[in-house]
Amino acid sequence: MARPNKKKSSRGRGRRPQSTQNQAERSSQNSQVAAAKEAPVKRKFAGKIRLYGDVENDGVVQISFTLPMPACDEARVAALQFAEKMNIQKASVLHMEAIDDDFSFFVVYGQCEAEVDLEQIEVPKLDHPQYGFHEINDMLGQKLDRKLVVLGACIGTDAHTVGIDAIFNMKGYLGDYGLERYSCFEAINLRAQVDVKDLADKIIEKQADVVLVSRVVTQRDSHIEEFKKLLAELSSRENVPAKLIKICGGPRMTHKEAIDIGYDAGFGPGTLPGQVASYIATEALQRFADQQD
Amino acid sequence: MTKINLDRDIIDHCRELAESVAHPVLIYINRHSTVSIERSVLRLLGFQGAHEVEKGMPYPVCNLIVDKLGQDKLKMGVASVIASIKNRYPRWNQAKMAEKIIKGEVNFERLEILPPDKAQALLKPWIDTAVRHIDKMRYRKEDMRHKLGRGKKMGPLKYIIVATGNIYEDVKHAQSAAKQGADIIAVIRSTAQSLLDYVPHGATTEGFGGTFATQENFKIMREALDETSEELGRYIRLCNYSSGLCMSEIAVMGAEEGLDYLLNDAMYGILFRDINMKRTLIDQHFSRMVIARAGIGIQTGEDNYLTTADAFHNHHQVLASQFLNENLAKHAGLRDEQIGLGHAFEVDPMVEDSFLIELAMAQMVREIFPRCPIKYMPPTRHKQGDIFFSHVMDAMFNMVGSMTGQSIQLLGMATEANHNPYLQDRFWALKSANYIFSACRSLYDDVQFVPNGKVMRQARQVLDRTHRFLRKIDQQGLFESIEHGMFAEMPRAKDGGKGHDGIFEKARQYFNPFYDLFQGQGRR
Ligand code: B12
């Protein structure tokens, strides 16, 4: 069966990562990790699209949810009405099952006529070049006469260290060296449960060049709150290095959200330390290199 | 049934090494007490209630008393102080006495310090009330278990977590899960409760990533599950957390409210919450004595090491820690049947033969601790946003659970990477576990492993590494090994971390009536 196949090649297909690190390859379960390995390619998408199920523009969508009522004919109709109110046409209840006497579970399929105009989409992105490990060390080594002081912490009561460790640890993450391994950085990882006041103290004491903060507990947007708290703390203090580069990250973070709340950059799931190091190198050269004599 | 031919001599020697590692730790433990232990003694002696020191933040009377007395007086044991007061004011009840102490209206200069036997005799009615209540709750639980049983035994006990933050919503989730086949309900605590040096009070409806462990919340949930148990004709077990800075108080609360399991593991607090190692090991010992008497089962947290240290390379850390935990638990009087050691299915799913490695590890733990109700934890670390793939990982995990005859299977959630389980997440998890445990009902009895095959070699290799690792720990000492980051790659300083200032050395005449009473209690 022949299907119109025109725009396919231009959209949504990342090149396969040509990773040499077999660990990174193994983890291709994480498409984000795989995609993140490549340098950002500036792509412009054109035209309007709909959801794709079987054929172009069919708008097929699958949803599942729970209703606080027993599984019965009325529940089935309620489920269909919900779908309709969500703008899903030709909805059908594929599956209804009692969770218990008071709750029922649904799988619903339908078609959604909504269209999205790709031309209207603007995503702020970090567009620095991706450098290699040695490149960064050489570059910063030549242009700066000192190591950059880089502090990291997972803040508030959050006890998750794995994310910030992935960025810092000497041995690296998915085959990519962490910041501690770079000779151009003095990397200090305070790990988790770090109060923002203590972090601010440390930033001032060390006259840090870069601060990296992590938040993995995100319930009720507590990550955003905590990230803001650090900024507020820093602005209430004296002797905070004026050119401090502020970076935040975590599984629910995007670069856009980070800049919206006043950080210089934000990193999300699947980030590799090399990407962060490249950003730091680019930004540091802009901010600090001119000062050097 | 042994299936993988582990070397018994090595296992025995691992146990001897664990004994040798634990010995100096136990000596240290016995010389010290903590504010948490003294507060639990007060709870046991019938001191109840809380005052609103700050608005909306009830602070327990036991904390107020212990804070007021200060470590200088606590050295004798809070029970000794209480006995002295009772000696002088025989008609004061607990409430009156608490009030007087907190207001600073007790003149300690004029109190006589009593020898332990005299103190014991004076406090006898209060001590007896506490012990009688704990025993009553224990028998009640045992009767219920006996009367209702488990229903048709089908694979491991299915363990489910609830964590809405609101105890009344938790009840709905718990009852719903029970009806779908869950055997154990664990109420996860609010983020960072473990760092509070007091136990919140009353029924609570707001928590982050979990629900506060309070005595009232325990009671509400236990009553709800009793009702559901009767309705289903199947006993539903309840679990909570006795860990963090209030480890021993929560053990008392669990004992008084008839809980079935408590997560209780100093190592977890040390490594994952930065609680001072000495503090929490001292607390752990007393809490386990209470737990032993109450017929509660503990669960340990070694499984978590595999979230920070890669699971493929570090299973020996888990096994070594299990040997240590087993030893410390037995010294606190727990029986094998009360020691639920934790392990987990955490190898990166992209590793080739990861299923075989998991099988080997699960079978190994099963055989080394044959009578312990092992708590088998699902994949978490490698779960990501693809809930469909995660669901498959959980199915693989459930297969290993049935193939290796695990005791307790903590059901994985497809949505692990995102949120605490919603009602429907638990529904999928239970539906799939019910299917797999039924489909594989007799698999354990029918499966054998190829001699010298991958499974056997893997298990043998990990046991050997564990043996070497325990030797090293024995040479260095437990505290030092933790300092060097030998567990979970989380180095912690001996005198660092939270709660260190709550430790004190016991005076020679230190008195804690429950210490002696609960000695060796599990082994009845
Ligand atoms: C491992 C783990 C734990 C371990 C943590 C061990 C440790 N020392 O870190 C333990 C068992 C201790 C734990 C405890 C808890 N956990 Co937990 N945990 C996880 C788990 C399974 C994996 C997290 C992980 O390590 N991911 C791997 C790392 C590499 O990924 P990452 O953190 O996203 O980091 C990457 C990027 O985000 C980025 N990044 C992250 N930070 C930063 C910072 C910067 C500057 C940059 C540039 C990049 C960056 O780079 C990293 C590498 O790519 C997740 C579930 C899941 N599968 O995601 C739950 C999860 C995060 N935990 C959760 C919860 C609720 C808890 C508890 C609060 C439970 C409780 N009630 O007690 C406690 C924590 C208590 C506390 N005080 O914080 C929830 C969070 C829910 C939410 N959305 O808020 C999750 C999602 C599980 C769930 N479904 O409930 N947890």
Predicted local distance difference test score (pLDDT) of residue B505 = 97
Predicted local distance difference test score (pLDDT) of residue A92 = 97
Pocket probe for ligand 1: among A155, A160, A169, A211, the residue whose CB has the most ligand atoms within 8 Å is A160
Residue A2 confidence (pLDDT) above 60: no
Predicted local distance difference test score (pLDDT) of residue B131 = 96
CATH number at residue A72: 3.30.30.60
- Residue A3 covered by a domain: no
* Token pair 């209690």: residue: B521
Are residues A236 and A141 both part of a single domain?
yes
CA B224 to chain centre: 22
Are residues A106 and A222 both part of a single domain?
no
- Chain A hits for B274, CB-CB cut-off 8 Å, are 159, 192-193
The answer to whether A181 touches A165, Cβ cutoff 8 Å, is: no
Condensed to tens digits (0 to 9), the pLDDT of residues A121-169 reads 988 888 889 999 999 999 999 999 899 999 999 999 999 999 999 999 9
Q: What percent of chain A has pLDDT over 90?
A: 78
- Chain B hits for A217, CB-CB cut-off 8 Å, are 191, 208-209
CB-closest option in B172, B349, B490 to A29: B349
Contacts (Cβ under 8 Å, ≥6 apart) of B524: none
Are residues A141 and A281 both part of a single domain?
yes
Predicted local distance difference test score (pLDDT) of residue A4 = 42
Are residues A139 and A193 both part of a single domain?
yes
Q: Looking at this predicted complex, what is its ipTM? A: 0.90
> Which backbone phi and psi does B70 adopt, to 5 degrees?
75, 160
Contacts (Cβ under 8 Å, ≥6 apart) of B82: B42, B45, B97, B123
Least confident stretch, A24-33, B77-86, B461-470: A24-33
Cα distance between residue B215 and residue A24, in whole Å? 48
CB-closest option in A29, A99, A101 to B389: A29
CATH number at residue A253: 3.40.50.280
Is A64's Cβ below 8 Å from some Cβ in B?
A: yes
Optimal mutation site among B179, B185, B306, B383, interface A, most CBs of chain A within 10 A: B179
pTM above 0.90, yes or no: yes
By residue count, chain B amounts to 524
Residue B228 confidence (pLDDT) above 50: yes
Contacts (Cβ under 8 Å, ≥6 apart) of A236: none
DSSP SS3 for B99: helix
Q: B342 forms bridges with which residues in the sheet?
A: B375
> Which backbone phi and psi does B324 adopt, to 5 degrees?
-65, -45
Cα distance between residue B373 and residue B156, in whole Å? 10
Q: SS3 sequence, chain A?
A: CCCCCCHHHHCCCCCCCCCCCHHHHHHHHCHHHHHHCCCCCCCCCCCEECCCCCCCCCCEEEEEEEECCCCCHHHHHHHHHHHHHCCEEEEEEEEEEECCCCCEEEEEEEEECCCEEHHHCCCCCCCCCCCCHHHHHHHHHHHCCCCEEEEEEEECCCCCCHHHHHHHCCCCECCECCHHHCCCEEEEECCCCECHHHHHHHHHHHCCCEEEEECCCCHHHHHHHHHHHHHHHHHCCCCCCCCCEEEEECCCCCHHHHHHHCCCEEECCCCCHHHHHHHHHHHHHHHHHHHCC
C-beta A276 within 6 A of ligand 1: yes
Which residue among the candidates B3, B75, B375, B383 is catalytic per the annotation?
A: B375
In angstroms, what CA-CA distances link B83 with B101, B249, B476, B514? 13, 20, 42, 14
Contacts (Cβ under 8 Å, ≥6 apart) of B117: none
Residue B2 — pLDDT band, cuts 50, 70, 90? confident
Chain-chain contact of A102 with B176 (C-beta, under 8 angstroms): yes
Are residues A188 and A107 both part of a single domain?
no
The answer to whether B387 touches B414, Cβ cutoff 8 Å, is: yes
Condensed to tens digits (0 to 9), the pLDDT of residues B449-468 reads 999 999 999 999 999 999 99
In angstroms, what CA-CA distances link A263 with A160, B41, B42, B309? 21, 50, 49, 31
Are residues A143 and A260 both part of a single domain?
yes
Predicted local distance difference test score (pLDDT) of residue B114 = 94
Residue B370 confidence (pLDDT) above 70: yes
Residue B164 confidence (pLDDT) above 80: yes
* pLDDT averaged over every residue in chain B: 95
Predicted local distance difference test score (pLDDT) of residue A18 = 38
Task: Read off the pLDDT of each residue in A219-236 and give the average, rounded to a whole number.
Answer: 95
Predicted local distance difference test score (pLDDT) of residue B522 = 46
Q: What is the domain count for chain A?
A: 2
Chain-chain contact of B386 with A29 (C-beta, under 8 angstroms): yes
- Residue A28 covered by a domain: no
A103 is in which domain, residue-wise?
49-117
Predicted local distance difference test score (pLDDT) of residue B284 = 98
Structure tokens at B30: 């016995």
Residue B247 — pLDDT band, cuts 50, 70, 90? very high
Residue A30 confidence (pLDDT) above 80: no
Predicted local distance difference test score (pLDDT) of residue A32 = 41
Residue with CA nearest ligand 1 atom 12: B272
Predicted local distance difference test score (pLDDT) of residue A289 = 79
Are residues A137 and A282 both part of a single domain?
yes
Domain boundary among A60, A90, A117: A117
* Token pair 């009845």: residue: B524
Residue A195 confidence (pLDDT) above 70: yes
Are residues A90 and A141 both part of a single domain?
no
C-beta A196 within 6 A of ligand 1: no
The stretches of B414-519 forming alpha helices (DSSP H) are 423-439, 443-446, 454-476, 478-483, 513-517
The answer to whether B222 touches B215, Cβ cutoff 8 Å, is: no
Predicted local distance difference test score (pLDDT) of residue B342 = 97
Are residues A157 and A284 both part of a single domain?
yes
Condensed to tens digits (0 to 9), the pLDDT of residues B23-80 reads 999 999 999 999 999 999 999 999 999 998 888 789 999 999 999 999 999 999 999 9
Residue A31 confidence (pLDDT) above 60: no
Domain boundary among A66, A85, A117: A117
- Residue A255 covered by a domain: yes
Are residues A270 and A195 both part of a single domain?
yes
Contacts (Cβ under 8 Å, ≥6 apart) of B505: B31, B32, B75
Domain boundary among A70, A89, A117: A117
Are residues A74 and A184 both part of a single domain?
no
Residue A292 confidence (pLDDT) above 80: no
Catalytic residues of A: 171
Least confident stretch, B21-25, B145-149, B333-337: B145-149
Task: Read off the pLDDT of each residue in B159-187 and give the average, rounded to a whole number.
Answer: 96
Task: Read off the pLDDT of each residue in B325-331 and give the average, rounded to a whole number.
Answer: 97
Residue A16 confidence (pLDDT) above 50: no
Sort residue B447 into left (φ over 0), alpha (ψ -120 to 50) or beta.
beta
- Residue A8 covered by a domain: no
Condensed to tens digits (0 to 9), the pLDDT of residues B473-511 reads 999 999 999 999 999 999 999 999 999 999 999 999 999
Cα distance between residue A25 and residue A35, in whole Å? 11
- Residue A237 covered by a domain: yes
- Residue A82 covered by a domain: yes
Task: Read off the pLDDT of each residue in B413-418 and give the average, rounded to a whole number.
Answer: 96
- Residue A40 covered by a domain: no
Cα distance between residue B365 and residue B357, in whole Å? 12
Residue A13 confidence (pLDDT) above 80: no
Are residues A101 and A195 both part of a single domain?
no
- Residue A156 covered by a domain: yes
Residue B389 confidence (pLDDT) above 60: yes
Least confident stretch, B127-131, B349-353, B419-423: B419-423
